[in-house]
Structure 1
């Protein structure tokens, strides 16, 4: 999705900034959530983006219910500047035609407020007890959702679990259908290839391993009532996986994603898998993974751990996919219009 293997000296693997959210946390930057393509019939000529949807739902339209946008975050500058860009584009897309986007909450799992409290709607929750995450900070995500769901007043029936480094490229409708959440299928989440490990947490009596969807918790649009059921299990499975050396080694930085997939399956929840939910490099059109390589043009969110990137980033060179150019343009628009972008670097 990030273009040709050769573009002069501008290696496509530099376009890691299009990777979705936390999923390539080591190298990725900001991401795009792409528009759901509506069709009034199955004969529109538009390829069906649904990979797996229950047969009785294929003829139904989208859900009419609004969804609450919830992203879990820390108070680190690295997280803060991404949240600001994400919230900027949420506000621009929320009331556009085709949107089912409801209210917005940054679920801040730092245990204390920060300087963005007045800028971004925020609900503060506690992190896990010290040392329990073993340096794997995303283990705080399921625990944050448990607390938020228990303590907050959430008007919408559905929730979109999002990440700080997501950007809404278009107004997003509710892709869920009743008790069937919508999620994005990740090529690197492969429960069937880790059957021995998965069976430690998903016993045979629960069903085949193929019942575990190839997803993480984000992006997922899910009924609030279902998330309330799944979240405590998600916490327990995450911690159990982290405590198991074999599982921790096998799943690595995607352990929490596997934990959500397993927790959902334990509750009998199956997701509608949509490839058009988002764009997710870093890999090129031939499917080759390209993060970690450096070329002539580069923008890596990990280069800005202690503060925000500068305004007016240079655009990618000629030949780069339009989606990459659009992303950099969207980042530039946000940074040009968010007050105090250059000065508000830390809490």
Structure 2
């Protein structure tokens, strides 16, 4: 991600400012000298139930409180996102935060669950945008307001058996789903609506291909970096997959000491 941030930052049409990697381990790691990093503390032991993604809202709260942030707007993105094009400040263009809509964030479908965190007196559940916290472009002022509230429903949802069961349709992404619902509900509790921008992200597949044939699965590289020069996919695969592999290969070819990380 950081490699492509540097490639796209200065191009025409880009409003991107500084870059910060928020590390919620509590300790510096081997990348802090290479990538601008702000180290924050994880949740108290046991609160994340062993799922590190639940630390994310608390990490943002600490970053917003303790860091010196020069920019007035923030783009929240994931470590496995790649900058394909220069990104304008859509929050200024639209006059409100901009976010990518996810097909599986459906508050109306789970209204009985959502109402535990977004009471009837707050209005219809359609006030809750079908989004997560990433990718989102939002003013720092609004994020400072939302972040502490975002932390509460995210943790409460994971501890509630009904919510856990309802949103656990794909266990491997359950915690990302909880983070997204938590952010969406927190935003609605503060009356913040996001402009839905499908062009903010190209949503591909994290796993493409079949075992035994050509295959790309980011989860195969959780304990180490993917190899350099990944083989190109066969004819007929979506162009987005071809672009992804080409961009990963270019980045790994140009990042020093890639194989020893």
TM-score range, shorter chain: over 0.9
Q: Which residue of 2 aligns with 1:271?
A: 194
Checking the alignment, whether the CA contact within 8 Å between 2:100 and 2:196 is kept in structure 1 is: yes
Name the count of aligned residue pairs: 253
SS at match of 2:75: strand
Give 1:13-92 correspondences, 5 Å limit: 86-92=1-7
Q: Does residue 1:310 correspond to 2:233, yes or no?
A: no
Q: Which residue of 2 aligns with 1:186?
A: 102
CA deviation map 1:217-253 (0-9, x unaligned): 0000000000000000000111111121111221231
Instruction: Quote the Cα distance in structure 2 between the aligned partners of 1:282 and 1:342.
Output: 25
- CA drift of 1:291 comes to 6.7
| CA distance 1:341–1:276, change in 2 (3 Å) | same
TM (norm. structure 1) is 0.71
- CA drift of 1:326 comes to 1.4
Give 1:1-347 correspondences, 5 Å limit: 86-177=1-92, 180-252=96-168, 253=174, 254-282=177-205, 294=211, 296-344=213-261
Checking the alignment, whether the CA contact within 8 Å between 1:110 and 1:127 is kept in structure 2 is: yes
TM (norm. structure 2) is 0.93
SS at match of 1:239: helix
Question: Structure 2 regions of 5+ residues with no counterpart?
Answer: 169-173
Question: Structure 1 regions of 5+ residues with no counterpart?
Answer: 1-85, 284-289
Checking the alignment, whether the CA contact within 8 Å between 1:251 and 1:258 is kept in structure 2 is: no
Large movers: runs of 4+ above 6 Å: none
| CA distance 1:106–1:315, change in 2 (3 Å) | same
| CA distance 1:109–1:292, change in 2 (3 Å) | farther
Root-mean-square deviation over aligned CA pairs: 1.5
Checking the alignment, whether the CA contact within 8 Å between 2:208 and 2:215 is kept in structure 1 is: no
- CA drift of 1:295 comes to 6.1
> More relative contact order in 1 or in 2 (CA 8 Å, sep 6+)?
1
